[in-house]
Amino acid sequence: MNAEIQDNLQAPIFRHLSETADELGVECYVIGGWVRDLFLHRPSNDIDVVVVGSGIVLAQALKDKLGKKAHLSVFKNFGTAQIKSGDMEIEMVGARKESYDRNSRKPIVEDGTLEDDQNRRDFTINAMAIRLNKAHFGELVDPFQGMQDLKYRIIRTPLDPSITFSDDPLRILRCIRFATQLQFNIEERTYNALSKNKERLSIVSPERIVEELNKIMMAKKPSIGLSLLEKTGLLEIILPELSRLKGVEVRNGKGHKDIFLHTLQVVDNIAAKTDNLWLRWAALFHDIGKFPTKRFDEKLGWTFHNHNFIGEKMIPGIFKRMRFPMNEKMRYVQKIVTLHMRPIALVEEEITDSAIRRLLFEAGDDIEDLMLLCEADITSRNEEKVKRYTQNLIEVRAKLKDIEQKDHVRNFQPPVSGNEIMETFGLAPCHEVGAIKMTIKEAILDGIIPNEYEAARKLMFETAAKLGITPKK
């Protein structure tokens, strides 16, 4: 037996499975992702077991053997059962033969052999099985040379790729996702079938699509998947706002950079710094406003005026369509997108205390994430430029720290509240109350008065007097 297999089958659960299957007189295999990950040295506790017979019967017998240590769940409708034992989750199912209806991802299922079951799987590296019955314990069943594909780092479908993808088009995205996570190449026929079957994505739910996209975004180098999505024409279907950023236009000898390629670089840069999924999404969306705002000006060349604000406005539509959460996660992405140019813009003028205070006030606790995006956004090939921008951001960071320590304006609330203003002057909620509050806030951010209660209260009286408002008697 292969030494790696032997090591990984040491856990007592495999011996129990082996004995149970032999007692029932059925063939039993561990299959799919667990086997793939064993050879990739990514040990996993999610174990898929296929039995040539009933998965539910096997699970019930295993539960009897394990007693109270194990928890059994049976899913009669799907013909599957799950055992949880310690930190292991074992999913048991009978070997199946599947045929598909063109309009649904739900197959018509019949009992089948191991071979039928392996034929219906998505990729050769996911179709390997290891036999658990005692007489053949640890034998690898690899009819499609999955081991070789692992060795040469190739994603390939076991059958004609058009059949595999058309049967279940979610696999189109799984293919790109595995290529990204594992940094494998996609075999040519499999690759060509991706775009050929792209229209079939229409029967996949947005939730499933997003699940795969999130996995791509969380990979070490998301650009691998994003670029594959673009090249295969899938991005145009899923996220047209991004695929439109592709390309360079030249007018009067003046070109602009390929914003899509720039964006990919920014996403990879941020992925090297953070595992925050939403910051990675914010990096992907940071320049989406550049397509609708692109103009050519005879004097200035290409401009993308207010692209950050337009980008911010585009995000709810995208989130809604993608069934992303339309809550504080969305607002976070919007905030990062809208503010993404501020730290760099700061240095183009002078880094005044007031500008830094405003930035801190607007970014709040997300200031660190915003700075990470700004740093990731520096992708120029001109070394001199990169050096200058990087140095500028170091200065902004130092200044931010300085002001933060001095003024505490992050998440700042003016020290005099609207209630206090209403109370002092006997006012109901009205425009004037807002105006007084705003004057105090602006004065603090501009450094005209310190961020302290007494100074704020004094300014409250002065501002009210100018508006002709007198204190309540």
Binding site for ligand CTP (CB under 6 A): 32-33, 48, 121-122, 126-127, 168, 170-171, 174
Q: Tell me how far, at minimum, the Cβ of 136 lies from ligand CTP, in Å.
A: 21
Residue nearer to ligand CTP on the CB measure, 121 or 335: 121
CB of 54 to ligand CTP, least distance (A): 19
Nearer residue to ligand CTP within complex by CB, 100 or 412: 100
Rg value, the chain, Cα: 30
Contacts of residue 224, Cβ cutoff 8 Å, sequence gap at least 6: 179, 180, 183
SS3 197: coil
Smallest distance, ligand CTP to C-beta of residue 141, A: 13
Kindly compute the dihedral angle of the four CA atoms of residues 254, 259, 260, 261, in this order, to the nearest 10 degrees.
80
Collapsed DSSP state (helix, strand, coil) of residue 398: helix
Reading the block at residue 267, the tokens are: 């996403």
* Amino acid symbol at 352: T
Check the CA dihedral 25-27-30-35 and report its sign.
Answer: positive
Q: Specify the length of the chain in residues.
A: 473
Cβ-closest residue to ligand CTP? 33
Q: How near is the Cβ of 32 to ligand CTP at its closest, in Å?
A: 3
- Decide whether 44 or 354 has the Cβ nearer to ligand CTP: 44
Sort strands 154-155 and 185-186 into parallel, antiparallel or unpaired. Answer: parallel
Nearest CB to ligand CTP, comparing residues 180 and 463: 180
DSSP class of residue 43 equals -
In whole angstroms, how close is the CB of 98 to ligand CTP at the nearest point?
9
Question: Quick one: which of 393, 391, 373 has its CA closest to 271?
Answer: 373
CB 327, min distance to ligand CTP, A: 26
Q: What are the tokens at 285?
A: 């969306």
Nearer of residues 42 and 254 to ligand CTP, judged by Cβ? 42
Are 171 and 122 within 8 A, CB to CB?
yes
Query: Which residue, 122 or 187, has its beta carbon nearer to ligand CTP?
Result: 122
First-last CA distance in the chain: 93
Nearer to ligand CTP, 173 or 376 (CB): 173
Least CB distance from residue 194 to ligand CTP, whole Å? 14
CB of 168 to ligand CTP, least distance (A): 5
Q: Which is nearer to ligand CTP, 33 or 301 (CB)?
A: 33
- Give the C-alpha separation, 339 to 279, whole Å: 13
